[in-house]
Amino acid sequence: MNRRTFLRNMGLGALGYSLAPIGYRGIARSAASSADTKPNFVIVFTDDQGYGDLGCYGSETIRSPRLDQLAKEGTRFTDFYAQPVCGPSRSALLTGRYPVRSQGWSMPESEITFAELLKTVGYTTGCVGKWDVSNRRDIKGRVPNDQGFDYYWGTLGANDGGGVKLYDNREPIGVDRDMAGLTKRYTDKGIGFLKANKDKPFLLYLAHTMAHSVIDATIKFKGKSKGGLYGDVIEELDYHTGRLLDAIDELGLRNNTLVIFATDNGPWNNMQEILRNKHKGAVAWGSSGPLREGKGSTWEGGVRVPCIIRWPGHVPAGRVSDAIFSTLDFMPTLANLAGYEVPKDRLIDGADQTALLLGESEEGERDHFYYFCRNALHGVRKGKWKLLLPNRENYYKYVKDRGSNEMELYNLESDIGEKRNLAKQNPEIVSEMLDLIKAFQWPAKLPDTGIIPKKRNVTSISTKLGKDDSRTVCSQVAGLSLAGLCRFPLFGGLPPRSSFDFPYFAQRCRPGDG
Ligand SMILES: [Ca+2]
């Protein structure tokens, strides 16, 4: 059943939602959607911005007065998780499903976004900026206008080459190589959308291209921060986010608009020097603050990102929350707040965090979070504990810090930088965490989460796997134990270096959700 058939058949809410992932707390959900009016949603999603790159997250080199103020007016989350890289982070955000299901850069037409569902309950939906879930290409069925957005203005891909191909809805309108001006252009379009839709419920998803390399800042900001060009870029993002917030106020929408600020993954602080030289220093070099590593990594620095949420009179102001929370959770949370039904025909990994947002719960609905690097499951967090599996497949070569690659257990409460491996001292906790790993409900078929190469037929291709992908997938297939047909060595051919046993790998893939 494709998405449209599903939406038609479900009769806009005829079905409930029961395919819940294991381990959620079961907090009584708030009837927020019964409020007299439905809130507007504004999601500002920056790119490659580090956990430590805002004043309210401890930066001493980057000024962010507007976002610091937003944190005072709402709740700042310290333990909020995205995904390690751009495309997978966006498919997870939009669908509430881990990229191993929602397929990252290659998000298929059959995935259902919260934008589509908001439309079923009367919302007008707009997306501005970086899409990056249609293989960076204009593919029918996968572009924003086909995935739930009434309005789109932005780029389908990234700006690695120093330019972006822009679209006004479905129409290509040219290439913009002025990276410095892009944050303002996007913000202007976002404000235009707010003005045009101020009288009805709306969603604005504003996904900035900055601070993804190649970065640049306008003359007003260039050289002004203490954080180099990257710091200038973040200060400019802060300024324009402030303009967007001002527009919300000027339109009288402040009290009925839930504003979310977050970023897609950790900072690209692990880039090879050669790339820095290539771009003459115009690469992101953010800080993950106290966290280990950055973009592409499943250390905290790769996936734990800033998140600030404001909804005056509803989300407590000035609160700092350490509840485990994720981009995955927006799908069911927005469902509760706006009154749409979450899809029932597939597994949704998100937890309804309405009670957390409204201050009715301190710990929130999510008690664990799985760490994925492409299709490889690297570990899990539960409460203060984080377990990382040995011999992890690190797809992203720019991640320099690969750790011991042994079984690693960290107490994130006392050791946020993941410096002290406590696995050997805590076998019971390791065992409990491994049970959680075993319990992950794998899709029946592993997706190709790669980017389709250019010059190939994008509608019928099965992307050729690179060596690392093959190893990852082979590890997964080997885990299936399909009558012993696949006997690829696990862990990329290396024997496990830990003394722990790994029977759970035999259960990694099982039929279930697609
Ligand atoms: Ca990114």
Model-level pTM? 0.85
Residue 146 CA to residue 209 CA, distance in Å, equals 21
**Pair 407, 388: CB distance under 8 Å:** yes
343, 367, 391 - which closes a domain: 367
- Between the CA of 45 and the centroid of ligand 1 the distance, in Å, is 10
What sign results for the dihedral spanned by CA atoms 46, 50, 56, 62? negative
Token look-up 């959308």 returns 193
- Looking at the structure, do residues 405 and 341 belong to the same domain, yes or no? no
367, 382, 398 - which closes a domain: 367
- Between the CA of 319 and the centroid of ligand 1 the distance, in Å, is 27
- Between the CA of 225 and the centroid of ligand 1 the distance, in Å, is 22
Two tokens, residue 156 = 């389908």
- The reply to whether 512 falls in a domain is no
- The reply to whether 196 falls in a domain is no
- Between the CA of 212 and the centroid of ligand 1 the distance, in Å, is 6
Q: Tell me how many domains the chain contains.
A: 2
Q: What is the pLDDT of residue 176?
A: 97
**Pair 206, 130: CB distance under 8 Å:** no
- Looking at the structure, do residues 398 and 359 belong to the same domain, yes or no? no
Helix (H, G, I), strand (E, B) or coil at 14: coil
- Show Cβ contacts of residue 247 under 8 Å, excluding neighbours closer than 6 positions: 191, 194, 195
Task: Say which CATH number the domain at 449 has.
Answer: 3.30.1120.10
- Between the CA of 264 and the centroid of ligand 1 the distance, in Å, is 5
Q: What is the pLDDT of residue 400?
A: 87
- Between the CA of 253 and the centroid of ligand 1 the distance, in Å, is 29
Give the 3-state secondary structure percentages of the chain, helix then strand then coil, rounded to 5: 30, 15, 55
339, 367, 395 - which closes a domain: 367
- Looking at the structure, do residues 156 and 245 belong to the same domain, yes or no? yes
- Show Cβ contacts of residue 376 under 8 Å, excluding neighbours closer than 6 positions: 392, 393, 395, 472, 475, 476
- Between the CA of 83 and the centroid of ligand 1 the distance, in Å, is 9
- Between the CA of 265 and the centroid of ligand 1 the distance, in Å, is 5
Q: Exposed, middle or buried by CB within 10 Å (0-12, 13-18, 19+), for 331?
A: buried
- Looking at the structure, do residues 432 and 473 belong to the same domain, yes or no? yes
Q: Across the 514 residues of the chain, what is the mean pLDDT of every consecutive 10-residue run?
A: 41 36 59 66 97 97 98 98 97 97 95 98 98 95 98 96 96 97 98 97 98 95 94 98 98 98 93 72 84 96 98 98 98 98 97 98 97 95 97 87 92 98 98 96 82 42 30 33 25 28 31 30
Residue 465 neighbours by CB distance under 10 Å: 14
DSSP state of 20: P
Residue 287 CA to residue 52 CA, distance in Å, equals 5
Two tokens, residue 77 = 């989350």
- Between the CA of 46 and the centroid of ligand 1 the distance, in Å, is 8
Q: What's the one-letter identity of residue 454?
A: K
- The reply to whether 288 falls in a domain is yes
- Looking at the structure, do residues 363 and 381 belong to the same domain, yes or no? no
Residue 491 CA to residue 392 CA, distance in Å, equals 7
Task: Kindly provide the b/e burial profile for residues 43-52, where b requires at least 16 CB atoms within 10 angstroms of the residue's own CB.
Answer: bbbbbbbbbb
Could you tell me which of 56, 59, 83, 66 has the C-alpha nearest to residue 287?
59
- Looking at the structure, do residues 38 and 150 belong to the same domain, yes or no? yes
Q: What is the pLDDT of residue 293?
A: 95
- Between the CA of 85 and the centroid of ligand 1 the distance, in Å, is 5
Rounded to the nearest angstrom, the gap between the alpha carbon of residue 75 and the centroid of all alpha carbons in its chain is: 19
What's the full length of the chain, in residues?
A: 514
Two tokens, residue 139 = 């593919």
- The reply to whether 46 falls in a domain is yes
SS3 string of 306-370? CEEEECCCCCCCCEEECCCEEHHHHHHHHHHHHCCCCCCCCCCCCCCCHHHHCCCCCCCCCCEEE
- The reply to whether 130 falls in a domain is yes
- Between the CA of 267 and the centroid of ligand 1 the distance, in Å, is 8
Residue 236 CA to residue 187 CA, distance in Å, equals 11
- Show Cβ contacts of residue 434 under 8 Å, excluding neighbours closer than 6 positions: 387, 500, 504
- Between the CA of 47 and the centroid of ligand 1 the distance, in Å, is 4
- Between the CA of 87 and the centroid of ligand 1 the distance, in Å, is 7
Task: Kindly provide the b/e burial profile for residues 384-420, where b requires at least 16 CB atoms within 10 angstroms of the residue's own CB.
Answer: ebbbbbbbbbbbbeebeeebebbbbbbbbeebbbbee
- Between the CA of 88 and the centroid of ligand 1 the distance, in Å, is 9
- The reply to whether 389 falls in a domain is yes
- The reply to whether 284 falls in a domain is yes
Task: Say which CATH number the domain at 34 has.
Answer: 3.40.720.10
- Looking at the structure, do residues 230 and 307 belong to the same domain, yes or no? yes
Residue 90 CA to residue 87 CA, distance in Å, equals 5
Q: What residue numbers bound the domain in which 457 lies?
A: 369-507
- Looking at the structure, do residues 214 and 331 belong to the same domain, yes or no? yes
**Pair 264, 89: CB distance under 8 Å:** yes
- Between the CA of 82 and the centroid of ligand 1 the distance, in Å, is 10
- Between the CA of 290 and the centroid of ligand 1 the distance, in Å, is 19
| Bridge partners, residue 131, by sequence | none
- Looking at the structure, do residues 21 and 122 belong to the same domain, yes or no? yes
- Looking at the structure, do residues 375 and 347 belong to the same domain, yes or no? no
Could you tell me which of 187, 181, 191, 188 has the C-alpha nearest to residue 159?
181
- Between the CA of 440 and the centroid of ligand 1 the distance, in Å, is 25
- Between the CA of 269 and the centroid of ligand 1 the distance, in Å, is 12
- Between the CA of 48 and the centroid of ligand 1 the distance, in Å, is 4
- The reply to whether 180 falls in a domain is no
- Between the CA of 495 and the centroid of ligand 1 the distance, in Å, is 33
- Looking at the structure, do residues 318 and 383 belong to the same domain, yes or no? no
DSSP string computed for 110-177: T---HHHHHHHTT-EEEEEEE---STTS--TTTSGGGTT-SEEEEESS--TTS-EEEEETTEEEEEE-
- Between the CA of 167 and the centroid of ligand 1 the distance, in Å, is 20
Q: What angle do CA 389, 393, 395 make, to 5 degrees?
A: 140
- Looking at the structure, do residues 213 and 77 belong to the same domain, yes or no? yes
